[in-house]
Amino acid sequence: MPITTAYEAKIEHISILDAKGNFDEKLGGVGSKCIIPDADIVKLYAAMVSCRQLDDVAFRLQRSGRMGTYPQNMGQEATSLGAAYALRKDDWMVTCYRENCGLFWRGVPKEAILLHWMGDERGNAMPKPHWVTPIYVPLGTQMLHAAGLTLAAKYRGEDRIACTFFGDGASSEGDFHEACNFAASLHIPVVFVCQNNFWAISTPSKINSAGLTFAQRGLSYGMPCMQCDGNDIFATVYTMQRAIEHARKTGTPCFVEMVTYRLGDHTTADDAKRYRDQEEVDAWKARDPIIRLRNYMVARKLWDDGKEAALQEQVEHENAEAVVRAEGIAAPTRGDFFNSMYAETPQDLLIQRDTMHTHSLGQDPSQLPPEAQARAAQLSAEATAAAAQH
């Protein structure tokens, strides 16, 4: 018997507005037929500019000791934003930690994100109507939750889908593969979005996959896969619209790779100069999603220097206000971390909480002789004073 082809596949790459400013009118549409109305183009641009400026603010907060480790989003604004724009407001967005732009589009308050990175869990107490999950620090774990959230919706007869984000690095984790397999074989409409930003801290994407694309990871699980220019807001919107339509119509998942680039360090604790060339970074700066869109808007006479100056002033003001709100939230009460462990705090934990500044763990002060009790009380007062200084 002759050898036949058992399987053959092709991955489409979608680009509409390229780095040189060429616009594909066939895909993107012209004028009133454009896939993004002019009024929205301006809004999307403003969202990216605002996110970029907040990155800068957060970086300076970290450097001046007002914030802990912070991962910048710089360069990747168009990925999550395109998805957030294309999704329905009641679809789930299940993100990692570099999707600020999309989260803000969904209405997540900026101070919530700031508060999280200021070391405060209350930043994660995001209002549920936004249909977003908390920031996930352990990489590659959230995609299974996206499948579960969508399965729950399906079970209840809702047509809500989920879009989940992860990086090129996270797609090496076992949970990622399990999520793809579960969603595809159990018919769960999840849109998997791989933000390929080329670097997992210092590890280049070629170490995370020897494949030519990350999009093809989805093929083996039997879902349609697409790749798009992640620095092109038109391409991310267009690709997500197709992916979402597929998911909602068929009730099955699909996979989108957005090719982008992490322009900044991995986090404020990282120094990317140690492991990558400035030339590479510069080449990607020329493909910046914000500059590209601004040039397009100027050429279309949707934008000018005056509007740009006004926008810069506006976002600086808005972001400064967000910092004021985040820093204005009173410090968590000491012992606050006991209160959300269980719906009903177990008795033993209540004792630990209520005595954390007054006696030793497991020690009942009444077991001490009277004079020692007085001394224990004095030590407790010192402990309370010392802890208050923390």
Partner 1 sequence: MANLNLVQAINLALIQEMEKNHDIVLLGEDIGVNGGVFRVTEGLQKRFGGNRVFDTPLAESGIIGLSIGMAMGGLHPVPEIQFEGFLGPAYDQICSHAARMRTRTRGAFTVPMTIRIPVGGGIHAPELHSDSPEAIYAHTPGLKVVMPSSPYDAKGLLVSALRDPDPVLFFEPKRIYRAIREEVPEDEYTLPIGKARTVCEGTDLTIVSWGASVVQCMQAIEKMSERDGCSIELIDLRTIYPFDMDAVAESVSKTGRCVVVHEAPLTCGFGSEIAARIMERCFLQLEAPVQRVAGFDTTMPYYKLELDYLPDAVRVSRAIHDCLAY
Which residues here bind partner 1, judged by CB under 8 A?
68-69, 116-121, 137-140, 169-170, 172-175, 200-203, 207-209, 269-270, 274-275, 331-332, 334-338, 341, 348-349, 352-353, 356, 359-363, 365, 367-369, 372, 375-376, 379-380, 382-383, 386-387, 390
Catalytic residue (choose from 262, 287, 292, 359): 262
Q: Which is nearer to partner 1, 286 or 324 (CB)?
A: 324
Q: At its nearest, how many Å lie between partner 1 and the CB of residue 380? A: 7
Q: Which is nearer to partner 1, 207 or 310 (CB)?
A: 207
Q: At its nearest, how many Å lie between partner 1 and the CB of residue 8? A: 27
Q: Which is nearer to partner 1, 4 or 366 (CB)?
A: 366
Q: At its nearest, how many Å lie between partner 1 and the CB of residue 168? A: 9
Q: Which is nearer to partner 1, 88 or 275 (CB)?
A: 275
Q: Which is nearer to partner 1, 283 or 386 (CB)?
A: 386
Catalytic residue (choose from 52, 217, 246, 266): 266
Catalytic residue (choose from 60, 63, 88, 275): 275
3-state secondary structure the chain: CCCCCCCCCCCEEECCECCCCCECHHHHCCHHHCCCCHHHHHHHHHHHHHHHHHHHHHHHHHHCCCCCCCCCCCCCHHHHHHHHHHCCCCCEEECCCCCHHHHHHCCCCHHHHHHHHCCCHHHHCCCHHHCECCCCCCCCCHHHHHHHHHHHHHHCCCCCCEEEEEECCHHHCHHHHHHHHHHHHCCCCEEEEEEECCEECCEEHHHHCCCCCCHHHHHHHCCCEEEEECCCHHHHHHHHHHHHHHHHHHCCCEEEEEECCCCCCCCCCCCHHHCCCHHHHHHHHCCCHHHHHHHHHHHCCCCCHHHHHHHHHHHHHHHHHHHHHHHHCCCCCCCHHHCCCCCCCCHHHHHHHHHCCCCCCCCCHHHCCHHHHHHHHHHHHHHHHHHHHC
**Residue 359 is among the residues annotated as catalytic for this protein:** no
Q: Which is nearer to partner 1, 35 or 349 (CB)?
A: 349
| Structure token pair of residue 131 | 């249909």
Q: At its nearest, how many Å lie between partner 1 and the CB of residue 373? A: 8
Q: At its nearest, how many Å lie between partner 1 and the CB of residue 189? A: 26
Q: At its nearest, how many Å lie between partner 1 and the CB of residue 28? A: 34
**Residue 262 is among the residues annotated as catalytic for this protein:** yes
Please state the separation of Cα 83 from the chain's center in Å. 11
Residues noted as catalytic: 262, 266, 275
